Amino acid sequence: MELTQVALFLVLLLLLFLGSGVWIALALLGVGWVGLQFFTNTPPGASVASSLWTSVSSWSLAALPMFIWMGEILYRTRLAADLFEGLSPWLRSIPGRLLHINVLASGIFAAVIGSSAATTATVGKIALPELLRRGYPERLVLGSLAGSGTLGLLIPPSVMMIVYGVAAEVSVARLFIAGLLPGLLVMLLFMGWVMLAGLLNAQKMPPPDPPMPLGRRLYGLLKIMPVLLLMVAVIGSIYLGVATPTEAASLGVLGALLIAFWTRSLSWQGLLDSLMGAVRTSSMIGFILAGAAVLSIAMGFTGIPAALAAWVGELGLSKYALLAVLMLLFLVLGAFLDGISIIVLTTSVILPLAKAAGIDLLWFGIFLVIAVELAQITPPVGFNLFVLQGLSGRDIFTIARSALPFLFMLLLAAALITVFPDIVTWLPRTMTGG
């Protein structure tokens, strides 16, 4: 069979597996085994065994369960409530007022959680009922929550960056630092839209809260100070080269436990639940990575990625045209797959294309994460949309329409880092370690 026919057959087989409800990891592993068995001269047994071991034995992955556990601990504390109480008095005079809490709280929470769904769920549980009770337009509340929840993927520490770093063999520490400025850029774009929406819907907005004495406002900020210090300690230790991502993750877990102990907001049952949640999530990601590794090595032996890269090279696409095509591909995939699956499914084919086009793989990792952020608010399989559907009771397409402006803000962010790549690459160049 020609390579085109082989590629088409494997894609259709993968779609058949996924459409039949087979676990993503098993679907990837199965297609990889079929590719090796029937379309190469390589015995699948040794190759599969070697790929499975190599994919889950990387030292970079050691940070993954620790960061997830840190997030699970803080998810069960009063962090979201403290963020709401601490930030709301300072936002009463800004257009959009308390809607900015969704953006700011999600940004802060993302910096200590690393998960988009957990960020959306935790901030949404507090902010959604409170903002609706105060009379804020439901469309703006749902849209700002859905969009802001995506910050959990971009602002480090990010589970998605660890997955990409392992798949692309890029320094996870440098990826973390590279995500800082783009994360702040996305936050500013979101807040800018919230301000504009607040001005355009001024008549629908509730009256501002009464002024609060400065002392009480400062006391509210003190409640969120431990989390801010934890965020600075984790990211700062990586940036200064004092700690590796794995060591910083361990520091984060210790800090999260101390915060939970200090606020007395985590029971023994909550601690056990956080451990089990971290084990389940880490195992799921590890299983998907293992399946993707088998598929990747099968694709390599068939020669499909190299042929595809050569074909794209012959098309003479500019770097910008290639990125536009890839963004369109990610948008389509985001309608059907979660972010981790998108990364592990595409890296074996897309990375050779990016290398051939002269694209910096560190920069490309942030571009890919922004594309995956878009997938989080793209129906019908947008994880943030599912979370808000459960919290609000609204149908997923109503929430998706509310989040549409924030999808355009993410596209604008992708365009800005493409035109000005130093937004991504400047901080990593100044790192002491990594």
Residues near 192 by beta carbon (within 8 Å), at least 6 away in sequence: none
Q: Give the model confidence (pLDDT) of 325-372 as tens digits.
A: 888 878 777 665 666 767 777 777 788 888 878 889 999 999 998 988
CA distances, 115 to each of 44, 160, 305 (Å): 35, 8, 30
Reduced to 3 states (helix: H, G, I; strand: E, B; else coil), residue 207 is: coil
209-235 pLDDT, tens digit each: 777 777 777 877 787 788 788 888 887
Q: Is the pLDDT of residue 313 over 70?
A: no
Structural domain that includes position 386: 3-432
Q: What percent of the chain has pLDDT over 70?
A: 92
pLDDT above 90 covers a percentage of the chain that reads 12
pLDDT of 382: 67
Per-residue pLDDT band for 190 (boundaries 50, 70, 90) equals very high
Note the pLDDT tens digit of each residue in 385-397.
777 887 788 887 8
Using the predicted structure, report yes or no on whether residue 185 has a pLDDT greater than 90.
yes
Average pLDDT over residues 248-263: 85
The region that residue 95 occupies, defined by phi over 0 for left and psi between -120 and 50 for alpha, beta otherwise, is beta
- Model confidence at 113, in pLDDT bands (50, 70, 90)? low
Report whether pLDDT(104) > 70: yes
CA distance 40 to 2: 12
User: Which phi and psi angles does 148 have, rounded to 5°?
Assistant: -65, -30
Distance (Å, whole) CA 234 – CA 236 = 6
Candidates 164, 180, 72, 184; CA nearest to 118 is 72
* Number of folded domains that form the chain: 1
Q: Which residue has the tokens 């999600």?
A: 106
Backbone angles phi, psi at 23, to 5 degrees: -50, 140
- DSSP for 97-140 reads GGGHHHHHHHHHHHHHH--HHHHHHHHHHHHHHHHHHTT--HHH
Q: What is the pLDDT of residue 422?
A: 94
Rounded to two decimals, the pTM is: 0.75
